[in-house]
């Protein structure tokens, strides 16, 4: 058989054998993505029809050439028919190239639309979505499932149309030439189709198993090849065991590959044999009819050539439903992500943050992190079912006000809710009750763009992208000049280090910034904050990873940067919040104390206890400090 026929058979064999009902809603949504590509789809289908017509015409013309030779026809007829066959071959080749280009354009266009839609949608998801979702599973939706959906247009669509036209025309022509030979040739059809479906199911199961194992190996490599993962493996001295476990998984994939290749070879060999037997039947029976004078010799040749174009379309159409179902599964998995509604969106009447210095106010705020069913998918977490329990209340009636240009510090035990307060201000989450206001306006009534332009934040981990120093800084202000960048680096006490790097601002900092030390990464994020020049600043343990020397330098820079800005500072080191205008002590989601550093020490409450714990060597001086206050 032709290479194209075997390609069609292979696609049927490896298609996912899932029986699923057609979802009208899914089909309608597919139509919305296909609508911009309708002209190309129509031309693509038309090319498939024309190609099918030409594919049937060639065997018929070949039979006429034989008839002309056998009947001692004139040479001109033979030459003209040969030239026509050659012309058809050239046209088929040209249409094949055009069809492939259309297929690629259509498929890649659909991939672009789907990937862009999913990527844009995922970026709008709340932080809780990313804390629960496995990154590899999410990336798979953007790659594997999008490509699986694309195949519905570039392969299945054209395949169904061209195969159907080819089948109808081939059968019509064969029945016209000899209905007896045609019917007898079809007797072998069950021997041809049934093994294709059964063997295809086995191969599909093996390929799914291989895909699962490959995905597991990919996840393992991603975790082990990251800087923290590689460090952990080395610290616990497990390289040999890790290698053995990886080799075992890889060996299973290799074993499946060998079995799949062997099964595929045996299957194709068997089908080739069946095809050869059918071809022998056509030549034998057709030749017998030709010798008896009831069938032309050319008709026998045409029937034999047409037979090679009959079985492949029949098999492909038999498996078309499977291919369509497989494509629908991919579409549904993509739409599953698109249907996950973001918890935080701009209101239709959202307003801009008021101009000038702004105050920050928390008014009786209550908050619990959302349950998994609100922000995630079981398939993205790779669990059987999502946890439906609601999040426990983390903040319980928190109220305070940071006046314009003033600094409010939050201190307390780990897990008291300090970082949660920091995440509510830039609206990474929305409150359950109460309100968070900036400039007197509830953050839920503000536009996301103006809120981002107003509130800047430095988080605990000092995250950097695997990009250049310049690119990481320009996230804060894309229009910043090199002079602006160097000024921010100087104020973060990082300019000398960057100048010493091989490519200066164009030096790549590595994944998560691991080519820099912890303190250098944190100062880089502070430089980014200084560059952004936002009116409200949130520092969530901004100096947590700095040594004493670096901390003093950065504190000096931050003091300069925070002048005239409203600041919320979360600190574990109480030495960094002594100068705050207001200190709030948070415990178990409640504000248990508030005041200045001196006043809280004098009160002898929880703040004084935390202070004494951190500075035990000065415990004897605390009463004196309190008395002086």
Instruction: Tell me the per-residue pLDDT of 89-111, one tens digit each, with 9 for 90 and over.
Output: 899 888 888 887 887 787 778 77
pLDDT digits 0-9 by tens, 10-44: 444 444 444 444 457 777 777 787 788 888 888 88
Least confident of 128-137, 191-200, 286-295, 618-627: 618-627
CB 449 within 8 A of CB 350: no
| Whole-number pLDDT of residue 1 | 42
CA dihedral 152, 156, 160, 161 (to 10 degrees): 70
b/e per residue, 517-554, with b = 16+ CB within 10 A?
A: ebbbbbbbbbbbbbbbbbbbbbbbbbbbbbeeebbebb
Three-state secondary-structure class, residue 171: helix
> Is residue 81 predicted with pLDDT exceeding 50?
yes
Judge whether residue 621 has pLDDT over 50: no
- Which helix (H) or strand (E) covers residue 164, if one does? helix 158-177
Q: Where in the chain is the domain with CATH 3.40.50.300?
A: 360-372+391-595
CATH 1.20.1560.10 in the chain: give the residue spans: 3-338
Residue 497 predicted with pLDDT over 60: yes
Average pLDDT over residues 255-268: 77
- Model pTM score: 0.67
Mean pLDDT of 426-455: 90
Between these two residues, 460 and 357, which has the higher pLDDT value? Answer: 357
Q: Is the pLDDT of residue 311 over 80?
A: no
CA distance 477 to 532: 6
Q: Domain 3-338: which topology?
A: ABC transporter transmembrane region fold (1.20.1560)
**The CATH fold of domain 360-372+391-595:** Rossmann fold (3.40.50)
Average pLDDT for residues 398-426, to the nearest whole number? 89
Q: Using an 8 Å Cβ cutoff, are 85 and 61 in contact?
A: yes
């Amino acid at each position: 058989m032709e290479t194209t026929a075997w390609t069609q058979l292979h696609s049927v064999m490896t298609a996912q054998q899932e029986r699923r009902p057609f979802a009208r809603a899914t089909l309608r949504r597919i139509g919305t993505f296909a609508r911009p590509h309708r002209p190309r789809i129509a031309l693509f289908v038309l090319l498939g029809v024309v190609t099918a017509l030409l594919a049937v015409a060639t065997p018929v013309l070949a039979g006429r050439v034989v008839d002309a030779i056998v009947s001692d026809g004139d040479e001109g007829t033979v030459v003209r028919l040969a030239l026509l066959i050659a012309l058809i071959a050239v046209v088929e080749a040209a249409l094949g190239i055009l069809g492939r280009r259309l297929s690629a354009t259509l498929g890649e266009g659909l991939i672009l639309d789907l990937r862009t839609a999913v990527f844009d949608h995922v970026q709008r998801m709340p932080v809780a979505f990313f804390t629960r979702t496995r990154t590899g599973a999410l990336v798979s939706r953007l790659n594997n499932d999008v490509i699986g959906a694309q195949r519905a247009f570039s392969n299945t669509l054209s395949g169904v149309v061209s195969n159907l036209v080819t089948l109808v025309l081939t059968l019509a022509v064969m029945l016209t030439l000899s209905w007896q030979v045609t019917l007898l040739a079809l007797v072998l059809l069950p021997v041809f189709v049934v093994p294709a479906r059964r063997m295809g199911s086995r191969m599909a199961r093996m390929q799914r198993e291989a895909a699962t194992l490959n995905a597991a190996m990919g996840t393992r490599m991603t975790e082990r090849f990251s800087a923290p993962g590689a460090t952990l493996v080395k610290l616990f001295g497990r390289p040999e065991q890790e290698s053995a476990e990886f080799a075992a998984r890889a060996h299973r994939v290799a074993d499946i590959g060998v079995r799949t290749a062997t099964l595929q070879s045996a299957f194709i060999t068997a089908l080739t044999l069946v095809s050869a037997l059918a071809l022998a039947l056509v030549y034998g029976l057709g030749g017998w009819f030709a010798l008896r004078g009831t069938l032309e010799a050319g008709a026998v040749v045409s029937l034999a050539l047409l037979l090679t174009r009959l079985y492949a379309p029949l098999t492909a159409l038999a498996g078309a439903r499977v291919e369509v179902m497989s494509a629908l599964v991919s579409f549904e998995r993509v739409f599953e992500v698109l249907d996950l509604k973001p918890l935080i969106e701009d209101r239709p009447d959202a307003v801009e943050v008021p101009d000038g210095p702004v105050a920050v106010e928390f008014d009786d705020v209550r908050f619990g992190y959302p349950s998994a069913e609100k922000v995630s998918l079981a398939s993205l977490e790779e669990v059987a079912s999502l946890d439906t329990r609601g999040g426990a209340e983390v903040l319980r009636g928190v109220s305070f006000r940071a006046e314009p240009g003033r600094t409010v510090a939050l201190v307390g035990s780990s897990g008291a809710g300090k970082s949660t307060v920091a995440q509510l201000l830039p609206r990474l989450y929305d409150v359950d009750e109460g309100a968070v206001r900036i400039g007197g306006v509830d953050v839920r009534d503000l536009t996301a763009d103006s809120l981002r332009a107003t509130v800047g934040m430095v988080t605990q981990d000092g995250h950097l992208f695997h990009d250049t120093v310049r690119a990481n800084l320009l996230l804060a202000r894309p229009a910043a000049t090199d002079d602006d960048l160097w000024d921010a680096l100087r104020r973060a006490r990082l300019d000398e280090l960057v100048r010493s790097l091989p490519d200066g601002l164009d030096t790549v900092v590595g994944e998560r910034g691991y080519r820099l030390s912890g303190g250098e990464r944190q100062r880089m994020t502070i430089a980014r904050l200084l560059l952004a020049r936002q009116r409200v600043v949130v520092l969530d343990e901004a100096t947590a990873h700095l040594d004493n020397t670096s901390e003093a330098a950065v504190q000096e820079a931050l003091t300069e940067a925070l002048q005239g800005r409203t600041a919320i500072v979360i600190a574990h080191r109480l030495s960094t919040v002594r100068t705050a205008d207001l200190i709030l002590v948070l415990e178990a989601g409640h504000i248990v104390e508030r005041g200045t550093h001196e006043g809280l020490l004098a009160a002898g409450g929880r703040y004084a206890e935390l202070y004494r714990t951190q500075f035990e060597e000065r415990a004897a001086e605390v009463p004196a400090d309190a008395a002086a206050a």
